[in-house]
Chains A and B, each alone.
Chain A
Amino acid sequence: MVNEKIVNVKMKALRNYLDKIKPNFEEGGKLHAFHSLFDGLETFAFVPRTTSRVGSVNIHDAIDSKRIMSFVVIALMPALFFGMYNVGYQNALAAGKLAEATFWGMFWYGFLAVLPKIIVSYVVGLGIEFVVAQWKKEEIQEGFLVSGILIPMIVPVTTPLWMLAIAVAFSVILAKEIFGGTGMNIFNPALITRAFLFFSYPSAMTGDSTVWVNQQSILGLGFTAPEAYTAATPLGQAASEGFAGFDCPTICNAVTGLIPGSIGETSVIAIALGALLLLWTGVASWKTMLSVFVGGGLMGWLMQALGLTQIEWWHHFVLGGFAFGAVFMATDPVTSARTECGKYVYGLLIGIVAVMVRVLNPGYPEGMMLAILLMNLFAPLIDYCVVERNISMRAKRATKK
């Protein structure tokens, strides 16, 4: 009770302070150049007080895009934290000192390895968002809160920060802002970042070199690997070497996530936790998510039945970025199909194309990124077909009489 009172007093003080400095940021104020920054911070601290205008609905649901985006970020946390731990684990494994490493030692090592990427991603991306918002005299849009955390999670841990910065800037400007910002973009900005890195700096992103494991110690934490250690992802191995299916340890490790790979994509268990939250809150569509798995499973089964691959159909789900893509990328409401029927088709095709790229294209061991980007492009076409049915039904009804 006393605590609550103190919070209340502090809250009032902050509110009053914000009200006091607010005029400086308004049109003509001396700090007007930072208007969008102030506005962004103010609406994060307090629920906006604006009330509805005459002629629009008088009451509103409490949901807003800040809440939705925050819940996606929360849903990403298990995968992120596990990813940090796995970075430390892979480092210890590379150094051959797994027995000496402690849980927290490995976690903090991974934390230090990943944190700079998160900071770079947010600083560059949000910086551009603030500038654009200021320029267009709009409010800051929250979309990048999600993209900004997704980006570090879908790149190898060794990606240089400067590359990341360029890629983030490229995708925020050319994949999002030129289309009109969050809600108007055609492609998922996080995946565009990854695609940009993938095609511009292939040596830093391919699966058969040293990129997946951080081999230097950071601030005394972790270990420096004695010699250049190569660790390919299981999918990379399958694509490059003579291969007769996965054995149990690889698959078990793929489920828990103790395999090399992009930071956030490895643990199926951590991703499943996030998926549960997204589905429960209704932020992600179960229709899209389910049909990605159905499509991938069908295609995996077909490929195996035709003798084109030795990989079991369900191994595709636990390896590489399939699960991560299905849960966090395919379900992006903006770039996914928007009609309910369209979501089934959209998801199904992502699963099919992802496995097709994995199996049939020797150059790309991972197909999820390309599959989702390709279907992003086709989502409006899928919706067009669904909406067109409604339109032709209406036209027929009019001419029938």
Chain B
Amino acid sequence: MTKVIKLRKGLDVNLKGKPTDEIGQVKCPGEYALQPDDFTGLKPKVVVKEGDKVLVGDALFVDKLHPEVKFTSPVSGVVSLVERGDRRKLLSVRVKCDEKQEAKSFDVKQDVKALLMESGLFGFFRSRPYDVVANPEDAPKAIFISAFNSMPLSQDFEIALKGQEKEFQAGISALAKIAKVHLGVSAKQTSKALLEAKDCEVTVFDGPAPAGNVGVQINHVSPINKGEVVWTLGAEEVIFVGRLMLTGKVDFTRIIALAGSDVKFPKYYKVLVGQKLNTLLDGQIEDNGHHVRIIDGNVMTGLKTTEDGFLGAHKTEVNVIPEGDDNAEMLGWIMPRFKEFSTSRSYFSWLCGKKREYTLDARIKGGERHMIMSGEYDRVFPMDIFAGYLVKAIIAGDIDRQEALGIYEVAPEDFAIAEFVDSSKLELQRIVREGLDVLRKENA
């Protein structure tokens, strides 16, 4: 019998522009990019030069501290650009793809961890504490995989899973050789490949967002204590591992959702990691005359980007919403504002029921203040942690207190919904990210 954990805290925001189940085709773009910034905490070292020929699975850059951890090309072709920013910081390595895609073959008989490091899949692991790219020297107590994303306008993993069930199971079986695998499944999911997955412990989570966050699942299944390390991996990345185990070749094909109120036909697309976004967005954005925001990822945790940006390594969706900076809305403090969504009953969205879909823009809709209301975060933070106190400890830079309050268990994404509802408009994800970075430096 699978364990079911019911979560009460949290919030589902019903947004307009949810993707239909259809899977669309995209043009093959000329250029792909792998961006080191997607792998938080990584110090990259480029191992290719512009003009080099690479195959699918050839390393583009490696971890400077652990050169055996490689980050490999999703396509075969010629390295077209090694993009650097301020102080020569590596921004991206771009590859111009050729006609026939050739992939490098790996020896799948070797040790799983070594194989993953060699093939570029190890870099997709994240480790807690700190929510950074995993360190191969660590011995994780478990590997956690969340098979669903509960954020609004995000990918439905079951659509990506269709036809890939065998690969998914092969991936889990391979990971089980490294550490114990925990799979978190949503109560709404029905796929047998998830509910009856072997070589792992399946836990069903029933509740609103952020129930799909792997951090929430860890907190309920096996919370992290000081000194322990847990690795996490995206569900689609498990399929990458499975493909490698079954064929000996890497294949970074994802099924991502293109969604949001400013997308003409929101649906799924088959793309590669590092895909240029204009191949996806060409002719897809509604022309309403207002500014739009293109988000690499979902509205809660994604990063603002442009049509010339590239799909982030971990991202399973691209959202497009109105920017809102051309909006002149009067007297917001007293008007009824029927179009707005709020968890507060001082607005009327509670009257409209859960069925109504909202179009929200990217405005902050208020000024940043000190924390005034109490308990706002805790209502949408389904972990056994005092979120408000933890945030205060981070702002104050009190490391002992951060440890005591459980900072090792959290990642910035866990605070996304709290940041959404916060009436003081604090940038919680940024605060937590900076706090984790400082803590990691202190503890190093």
Q: Which residues of A contact B (CB under 8 A)?
A: 11-12, 15, 43-71, 139, 141-143, 180-184, 280-283, 285, 333-334, 336-340, 387, 390-391, 393-395, 397-398, 401
Contact = CB atoms under 8 A, between A and B. Distances in A.
A74 to B, nearest CB: 9
B367 interface: yes
B429 A51 contact: no
Nearest to A141: B369
Given A11-B328, A58-B321, A394-B404, A44 B364 contact: no
Contacts of A143: 372
B139 interface: no
B333 A70 contact: yes
A66 B425 CA distance: 12
B424 interface: yes
B324 A49 contact: yes
B365 A48 contact: yes
B225 A65 contact: no
7 contacts: A47-B366, A50-B364, A57-B429, A59-B360, A60-B364, A61-B343, A334-B372
B231 interface: no
Please indicate which of the listed interface residues B302, B319, B361, B367 has the most CB atoms of chain A within 10 Å of its own CB: B367
Contacts of A43: 367
Contacts of B371: 183
- Lowest 4 A-B CB distances belong to which pairs? A64-B366, A183-B370, A47-B332, A62-B340
A139 B424 CA distance: 12
Q: Chain B, interface size: which category?
A: 35 or more
A396 to B, nearest CB: 10
A334 B388 CA distance: 13
Interface string B409-427: 0000000100111111101
B372 A63 contact: no
A63 B421 contact: yes
A382 B347 CA distance: 32
Interface stretch (B67-75, B106-114, B293-301): B293-301
Contact of B385 (A53, A55, A181, A390): A390
A65 B344 contact: no
Nearest to B305: A54
B433 A55 contact: yes
Contacts of A64: 332-333, 365-367, 423, 425
Interface string B330-348: 1111100100111111110
B373 A68 contact: yes
Nearest to B369: A65
B318 to A, nearest CB: 12
Contacts of B295: 58
B116 interface: no
Nearest to A140: B367
Contacts of A69: 333
A183 B223 CA distance: 32
A61 B341 contact: yes
B362 A52 contact: yes
A213 to B, nearest CB: 35
Most buried by B among A48, A51, A55, A336: A51
B344 A61 contact: yes
B373 A139 contact: no
B328 A63 contact: no
B13 interface: yes
B333 A61 contact: no
A138 B299 CA distance: 28
A62 B349 CA distance: 10
A183 B365 contact: no
Contacts of A62: 332, 337, 340-342, 344, 347, 365
Contacts of A390: 384-386, 405-406
Given A56-B430, A398-B225, 5 more contacts: A46-B328, A51-B363, A65-B424, A68-B346, A139-B367
Contact of A66 (B333, B388, B433): B333
